[in-house]
Amino acid sequence: MAEKRNIFLVGPMGAGKSTIGRQIARQLHLDFYDSDTEIERRTGADISWVFELEGEEGFRVREEKVIEDLTEHMGIVLATGGGSIMSKESRNRLSARGVVVYLETTIEKQLARTQRDKRRPLIAEADDPRKVLEELAEVRNPLYEEIADITVRTDEQSAKVVVNEIVEKLGVNGLG
């Protein structure tokens, strides 16, 4: 029997990593993890509280450890936090330990999908969320592209269509 590979979803907040990741895991009979949910489980506190108490730097240290731990599993789908790729160590681990799928989306879609979500500390209190998202995209999009094995746009498609497209591309890459 072939060894089960990992599928790691990267991309900006609001791209659909958690929603799509759960569906891919279900369809391929893999375990699903969400790095933000795992941080919350380990700390016993929500992401906003961790950011407030430890700042983004403290949060990123926790995130890097969670990604290190979870990428050691086999046969998982992992939805990463949007900023997880800021760590070179995390980028290296994701690239080396599975297939990286970049879920690409527009700033407009991100705004629409995150506008009422108070669990997004980088934009929850921002005076100009669009400006914050544009600045994040400028820094992060090249890093997503750098480690992506597969890139899929999530803008105008349902989660089901995106999942099917990813599963089909994974098959072409020897996973499906």
Binding site for ATP: what residues are annotated? Answer: 14-19, 120, 157
Hey, which bits of 75-165 come out as E strands?
Answer: 76-79, 99-104, 150-153
**What pLDDT sits at residue 2?**
43
Binding site for substrate: what residues are annotated? Answer: 36, 60, 82, 140
**What pLDDT sits at residue 114?**
78
Which residue numbers in the chain have pLDDT < 50?
1-2, 176
Q: Tell me the domain boundaries of the chain.
A: 7-161
Binding site: what residues are annotated? Answer: 14-19, 36, 60, 82, 120, 140, 157
In this structure, which topology does domain 7-161 adopt according to CATH? Rossmann fold (3.40.50)
Full-model pTM: 0.92
**pLDDT tens, residue by residue, 79-129:** 999 999 999 999 999 999 999 999 999 999 988 887 766 666 666 677 888
**What pLDDT sits at residue 161?**
95
Binding site for Mg(2+): what residues are annotated? Answer: 18
**What pLDDT sits at residue 171?**
86
Element (H, E) at 8: strand 7-10
**What pLDDT sits at residue 121?**
64
Taking CB atoms within 8 Å and a gap of at least 24, the contacts of 33-40 are 33/70, 33/73, 33/76, 33/77, 33/78, 33/79, 34/78, 34/79, 35/63, 35/66, 35/67, 35/70, 35/78, 35/79, 35/80, 35/81, 35/84, 36/79, 36/81, 38/66, 38/70, 39/63, 39/66
